[in-house]
Protein backbone atom coordinates (compact mmCIF):
# COMPACT_ATOMS: atom_id res chain seq x y z
CA UNK A 1 0.00 0.00 0.00
CA UNK A 2 1.32 3.45 -0.84
CA UNK A 3 1.04 6.40 1.49
CA UNK A 4 1.07 10.11 0.96
CA UNK A 5 4.47 11.58 0.22
CA UNK A 6 5.31 14.89 1.87
CA UNK A 7 5.97 17.69 -0.65
CA UNK A 8 9.62 18.70 -0.28
CA UNK A 9 9.08 21.88 -2.31
CA UNK A 10 11.76 20.87 -4.80
CA UNK A 11 9.54 20.16 -7.77
CA UNK A 12 8.00 22.57 -10.22
CA UNK A 13 4.68 23.90 -8.94
CA UNK A 14 3.44 24.26 -12.47
CA UNK A 15 4.89 22.70 -15.61
CA UNK A 16 4.84 26.16 -17.20
CA UNK A 17 7.51 27.24 -14.67
CA UNK A 18 10.02 24.68 -15.92
CA UNK A 19 12.75 26.05 -18.22
CA UNK A 20 12.52 25.08 -21.86
CA UNK A 21 14.91 22.28 -22.78
CA UNK A 22 16.32 23.36 -26.12
CA UNK A 23 18.72 21.57 -28.48
CA UNK A 24 21.44 23.93 -27.22
CA UNK A 25 20.78 22.74 -23.65
CA UNK A 26 21.33 19.12 -24.65
CA UNK A 27 24.34 19.96 -26.84
CA UNK A 28 26.10 21.43 -23.78
CA UNK A 29 24.95 18.81 -21.24
CA UNK A 30 27.27 16.20 -19.74
CA UNK A 31 26.95 12.72 -21.22
CA UNK A 32 27.22 9.66 -18.99
CA UNK A 33 27.29 5.93 -19.65
CA UNK A 34 26.08 4.68 -16.29
CA UNK A 35 28.44 6.26 -13.77
CA UNK A 36 31.19 6.91 -16.36
CA UNK A 37 31.46 10.46 -17.69
CA UNK A 38 31.87 10.42 -21.48
CA UNK A 39 31.76 14.18 -22.09
CA UNK A 40 31.71 16.95 -19.47
CA UNK A 41 29.16 19.74 -19.63
CA UNK A 42 30.16 22.87 -21.51
CA UNK A 43 29.27 26.52 -21.00
CA UNK A 44 26.67 27.80 -18.58
CA UNK A 45 25.90 24.32 -17.32
CA UNK A 46 29.32 24.11 -15.69
CA UNK A 47 29.63 27.49 -13.97
CA UNK A 48 27.12 29.62 -12.12
CA UNK A 49 27.41 33.04 -10.62
CA UNK A 50 29.45 36.02 -11.67
CA UNK A 51 31.75 35.92 -14.65
CA UNK A 52 35.41 35.56 -13.74
CA UNK A 53 37.31 38.81 -13.32
CA UNK A 54 40.31 39.52 -15.51
CA UNK A 55 42.29 40.69 -12.46
CA UNK A 56 40.59 39.22 -9.36
CA UNK A 57 41.47 40.51 -5.92
CA UNK A 58 43.46 38.23 -3.63
CA UNK A 59 43.11 37.92 0.10
CA UNK A 60 46.22 38.70 2.13
CA UNK A 61 47.05 39.18 5.79
CA UNK A 62 48.72 42.43 6.77
CA UNK A 63 49.44 43.92 10.18
CA UNK A 64 48.57 47.60 10.61
CA UNK A 65 48.56 49.94 13.58
CA UNK A 66 45.31 49.91 15.55
CA UNK A 67 44.74 53.64 15.17
CA UNK A 68 45.03 53.34 11.37
CA UNK A 69 42.47 50.53 11.25
CA UNK A 70 40.13 52.36 13.64
CA UNK A 71 40.15 55.51 11.48
CA UNK A 72 39.55 53.55 8.30
CA UNK A 73 36.68 51.55 9.82
CA UNK A 74 35.16 54.74 11.23
CA UNK A 75 34.77 56.00 7.66
CA UNK A 76 31.94 53.48 7.25
CA UNK A 77 31.08 50.60 4.95
CA UNK A 78 33.44 50.11 2.04
CA UNK A 79 36.52 50.96 4.08
CA UNK A 80 38.45 47.96 2.71
CA UNK A 81 37.83 49.11 -0.86
CA UNK A 82 39.06 52.57 0.13
CA UNK A 83 42.23 51.00 1.58
CA UNK A 84 42.75 49.28 -1.78
CA UNK A 85 42.41 52.63 -3.60
CA UNK A 86 44.85 54.32 -1.20
CA UNK A 87 47.41 51.56 -1.75
CA UNK A 88 46.95 51.66 -5.55
CA UNK A 89 47.71 55.37 -5.55
CA UNK A 90 50.71 54.85 -3.27
CA UNK A 91 52.30 52.29 -5.61
CA UNK A 92 51.41 54.28 -8.74
CA UNK A 93 49.01 51.74 -10.21
Residue 50's pLDDT is what? 79
Residue 32's pLDDT is what? 94
Work out the average pLDDT over 70-83.
94
Q: Is the pLDDT reported for residue 6 higher than 80?
A: no
Beta bridge partners, 33, equal: 36
Element (H, E) at 85: helix 79-90
Work out the average pLDDT over 31-48.
82
Q: Is the pLDDT reported for residue 14 higher than 70?
A: no
Q: Is the pLDDT reported for residue 43 higher than 90?
A: no
Radius of gyration of the chain (CA): 25
Amino acid sequence: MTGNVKDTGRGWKDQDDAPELTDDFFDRAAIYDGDRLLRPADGTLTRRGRPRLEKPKRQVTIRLDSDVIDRLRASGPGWQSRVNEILKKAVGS
